[in-house]
Structure 1
Amino acid sequence: MPVPHLSTALNGPILDLENRIINAMPTIEHWIRGKWREYTVPFYCSVDLRNSGFKLAPVDTNLFPGGFNNLNPDFIPLCVQAMMNAIDKICPDTHSLLLIPENHTRNIFYLQNIATLQNIMQRAGLYVRIGTLLPEVTTAIDIDLLDGQSIRLEPITRKDNQLSVANFEPCAVLLNNDLSTGIPEILQNLHQIVIPPLHAGWATRRKSNHFAAYDRIALEFANLIDIDPWLINPRFSSCGEINFHEKQGEECVAAAVDRILSVIRKKYQQYGVKEDPFVIVKADSGTYGMGIMTVKDGSEIYKLNRRQRNKMAVVKEGLQVSHVLVQEGVYTFETINQAVAEPVIYMIDRHVVGGFYRVHTGRGIDENLNAPGMHFVPLAFETTCLEPSASQSNFIPNRFYAYGVVARLALLAAALELQQTDTSEVELSTDQTPA
């Protein structure tokens, strides 16, 4: 598959960063392999990256990825091989699996993701049925998809702490549902393997916990290859007791914005960056690009109009926002056909299996691209993420290898995050900006 036109700023420290990553490849791969002896790798994961030409960093990590249909179909065999490894490590005796999706029966694109995921697992040697949590689905329903396929959703039954669908007793349950509205009673206290674990869902998970874990991983990695950790790590803080409608908690958010902007300005001055720094304020839990705004001065928080407050107050499923993440904004200077783009990397187990560019013709380089109007350009990352080129002029494979490395750092951070939230160890600090 041809690589689409990619335009990236080709000057500044990012090239030095890429070269350091390429030159340290054996050290990096050995270090990552060692980390997987310390942590349990998440079953699957997707990571949104931003490449500003002077910085390459993850800005979001999804433990219930919903875009497998956007991957290059030529590399489904790589997904199948990774899936075999993932299943074998979790439950080697598993031969049947119940897949539970989001309640998006009207989102055909999401259902195509489910069909693709089911196909990958079937080709990995599993019997796979799809069970829905929708109470109104009392008999199996078939849904036709845009590509000519169809999927069957079946009602789930629970007996003796085991989930099943008609004439099907699965050994394990795979969630592609991020549990934003909470953990349904039917999923609690099961005597079945549930992957990802329930505490990976947004009912309990916080982005601030993830990026605190990433801060540790990034610092260790930066020391490993002797780089400034800021080049791969967005600063952040978090605020609780927020109510945008009632203007509660604004002081915390505004102060965090100004504090992070101050840090960014110093870093921009250090690296000769001429752009204006910005901060992203977003809900501390949840997906789908909801509850997000770009801020360039703390005073803007006090000046939000009613429409902006409504946008920030509610996320997926109409849930109220009470905690926010205040995160350093990372410019994206990548474009496809003059439209702003950002890479999204997909992993199954510890393997990079593909990726795509999220592209938005109506958004700027300092804005969230996960919004209505976006589209996707699939890329085959299998060789370019894992096989960098020795030629310094062949920057695209080297850049994509760097993508794969940083995405796997986020995957490691997710593993650390899940370990800590599962064992209730000492709570991580949620403010990584200096006093």
Structure 2
Amino acid sequence: MADTDAFFRTEMLPPKEPPLSQRGVWKWMHENMFSSIGSGALTVLGILFVLYVLASAFPWFAHSVWHADSLRQCRDIVHKTWGPGTDGACWAVIRANWNLYLYGFYPMEQIWRPNLAFLLLLVALSPILFSRLPRKMIWFSACYPALAYWLIWGGTLWISVTIMAGFAVGALVLRFLGRIAGTALGVGGAVLGAVLWWLFVAAPVATALADIVPLHLTFVPSDKLGGFLLSFITGMCGIGFSLPMGILLSLGRRSDMPIIKTSCVLFIEFVRGVPLITLLFTASFLLAYFLPPGTTFDLVLRVIIMVTLFSAAYIAEVIRGGLAAIPRGQFEAADALGLDYWKAQRLIVMPQALKISIPGIVGVFIGLFKDTTLVIIVGLLDPLMGISNAVRANVAWNGVYWEPYIFAATIFFIFCFGMSRYSMYLEGKLKTDHR
């Protein structure tokens, strides 16, 4: 048999690029768009549908008119520029009614007040949304609601100050009574102290301070609010107040105390079982029958309360799902460390539950912000239907249809998409596993 020598390569082969189908755009398209015959067929149909929509809508957008005083003038400009029978978007209606869409019928000479309130809102949200900022800024965030109320509605500043002082009184009662009688009695005493302050002390103190140092802005009634200003007020208040209320409701539903558990279950199931429109009707019309004669209750405040209660019921169920997902060992570990109920919830249980519940909570917030358009049911001018109807009631713009809805939908999309992206950022930031 002839001798054979084994061959061993002594040098490394130069690296080569993977096949074209296994790299770059082609790989992504193969995996996501053409991974099978069905997937490829759906991709082709989807592309054809998108091209059809673009081909149909592009001329309308391309023939846009931004400067005109009426719909007739818009059409004359389109026909003169692109020929008779041509159709185009008349965005001049948005430009001519810009302030109406943003502020409703808010007095023009006072527009600086909601603008300042919006800028301060960004400052107040910064330490809440981004942990790298100084934590001392959270004090401004706590005081912002009173300042925003004074800027938007006006009146004397001392009303807002005394209202915030009620929360300070409640916090002091909780701090001192909680050490002596326990957390439960401390919370009850704090609520009672704050309510007594608001009922009997706040008004005389505000009047006395207003006589000494008059800090006053022109009062703007709630029926002047409208447009995106009204949506922001209703949405931000609902989001800010419904989250802590939802947390308490979720804890109450899991409580071992029958009265608290039954009350929370009845509230959650009742609110989730009726449409939001029903609650808004109740706030607008039926509530007046249960109030003493001559009592006035601001309509926007009633809407905010109902929207907050509605959102809180849904958030409570979302957070309850997060609590149910936490292993039993976490509760036992809190007991082993000797923590009481509230410390265990604050330090161990609730942070994990909220992290799990972030997608559901943000979903409720997005739905809440879009549902602010339902205030048209109670006579308030939302930016989608109320303001659009008011604009079309003007003879100059009678006949405008698509442009107001597209503009309002775009603004809502920007804010809702922003909340969605922040939710994804927060999930990534709080992710502790490395899978």
Measured against the shorter chain, the TM-score band is: under 0.3
Higher helix share: 2
Q: Normalization by structure 1: what TM-score? A: 0.22
Higher strand share: 1
Q: RCO (CA 8 Å, sep 6+): is it higher in 1 or 2? A: 1
Greater Rg over alpha carbons, structure: 2
